[in-house]
Amino acid sequence: MGFHSSFSATSLQTLKLAAVPTTSHLIFRLPTKIASLNSLHPCFRNRKPPCSLLVRALSFSAVQVDPPTATAGEEIVGKPQWKASIDFKWIRDNKDLVAANIENRKSGANLELVLQLYDKMLNLQKEVERLRAERNMVANKMKGKLEPSERQKLIEEGKNLKEGLVSLEENLLKLTDQLQQEAQCIPNITHPDVPIGGEDCSIIRKTVGSPREFGFSVKDHLELGKQLNLFDFDAAAEVSGSKFYYLKNAAVTLEMGLISWTLSEVMKRGFTPVITPEIVRSSVVEKCGFQPRGENTQVYSIEGSDQCLIGTAEIPVGGIHMDSILAESSLPLKYVAYSHCFRTEAGAAGAATRGLYRVHQFSKVEMFILCRPEDSESYLEELISIEEDLFTSLGLHFKTLDMASGDLGAPAYRKFDVEAWMPGLGRYGEISSASNCTDYQSRRLGIRYRPQEPIPTTSKKKSKGNLAPTQFIHTLNATACAVPRMIVCLLENYQQEDGSVIIPEPLRPFMGGLEIIAPTST
């Protein structure tokens, strides 16, 4: 399933649906190897190893491999364009913990292969260093006075060493690339309180309100939308393909009102508003934990380029501070971003796909926080609190769930979903999600901060050596408003017997004072 239409124009590139195995947060697999964990590849789904140790597994400074830089030129198929700072030594030393984590996540990461490649890389690196040392010794000998025959012998020896070294360095480069590709399938650690199992093992943390009792036959949002002339799926299917839609009349005002109201409310809590690019480089998508290539991917890639359409503003916002060192005094950085989002929804089927509930393009307001590691759990609570306040103020009945390990995306250390009651659909539907990704994304995006406390020194002279070492920041994300599903909730929960829909009071000032959406005569 997915969007199969194609189009061409002199200045437009063809959108191509790339297929990739679906996964959670930490994992993502590129065509052959690389993967940004959970949201993309089955490698990262269930797990719950001892938290403190596992956090260290993917949080401590990575063992640095320093192979020779590849020659610039044509892209090598399957070669990663970036390298995550992964602590291979920690993974090797804590093999059992990592294996348990992979099993709980149902991620499919090949730990044994990673460890084999790591050992091979270390051995090859030692051999490279040995040959380099021998070559240096030969070079030093040639600096002195030598007989012509002896000099010629050293020249030949140096030549042979150089040729052997070039071959070994090439092999080392390929091996370290392969190690990176496989290791990136290893998912983030899991919070110790996360329930182990599939989605049905998730635990209800909080329930707000109760289902509204109707004294008349309830309609779903599709029927209400048709009667109120709010959307057109048929025309959109002809123009764009299935699962696209036109919003019309009061539905346009409702979307704009939801966005403006949500931005206003979240900004009051100290978040900086951002409107993001909606096309990003594939590597940024991967670094954030999403899979842009392969079967069942949720990502639309742009054919003939290294770019993708975003599935969430989390991706471009995460890239704002890529490859940078932040001052501790600047943390936390809180963003609230508005964007359109594009998802293939590959593999989706059933009643959950009807109408606006599951579509290929939609508007969303996303919250994103960058903070110190010791603060991320408290900021996750803050994000959940903001979500619950927003939905409560709209009068929705919902429940907040602590999601089980099998439902976590590759980057997620812990995730809470909000599911609201949708009377027309006769079930709860997910309207929001909040995740703490710890340093999974920052290790891939290269985002660090430098603590203010300098290293103690007896010298009064300030120097670079006195600075505290940098640390990877933690990232968190949460949905403030996924517009189509909010429209579903509002239409179905606020419908009246005559077919009209009441607008919740908080939204009215952002909709020109509109209080009710009523049927209009044709």
244 marked among binding-site residues: no
433 marked among binding-site residues: yes
Q: Which of 44, 52, 111, 57 is nearest to 85 (CA)?
A: 57
Unique residue bearing structure tokens 């299917």: 237
166 marked among binding-site residues: no
Helix (H) / strand (E) element for 368: namely: strand 361-371
Give the whole-angstrom CA distance, residue 311 versus residue 491: 25
204 marked among binding-site residues: no
Burial category of 357 from C-beta neighbours within 10 Å (exposed 0-12, middle 13-18, buried 19 and up): buried
105 marked among binding-site residues: no
Residue 445 near residue 471 (C-beta atoms within 8 A): no
The counts of H helices and E strands in the chain are: 13, 19
Q: 269-285: buried (b, 16+ CB within 10 Å) or exposed (e) per residue?
A: eebeebebebebbbbbb
Give the whole-angstrom CA distance, residue 419 versus residue 207: 10
343 marked among binding-site residues: yes
Q: Which of 155, 224, 195 is nearest to 45 (CA)?
A: 195
345 marked among binding-site residues: yes
344 marked among binding-site residues: yes
Q: What is the DSSP string of 408-429?
A: --TT-SEEEEEEEEETTTTEEE
181 marked among binding-site residues: no
Cβ neighbours of residue 336 closer than 8 Å, sequence gap 6 or more: 262, 263, 266, 267, 271, 272, 273, 274, 365, 366, 367, 368, 480
Q: Which of 124, 127, 126, 161 is nearest to 141 (CA)?
A: 161
Helix (H, G, I), strand (E, B) or coil at 483: helix
488: tokens are 């579903």
User: What is residue 38's DSSP assignment?
Assistant: T
How many angstroms from the chain centroid is the CA of residue 329?
26
User: What is residue 510's DSSP assignment?
Assistant: G
Residues of the binding site for L-serine:
312, 343, 366, 477
Residues of the binding site for ATP:
343-345, 359-362, 430-433
Residues of the binding site:
312, 343-345, 359-362, 366, 430-433, 477
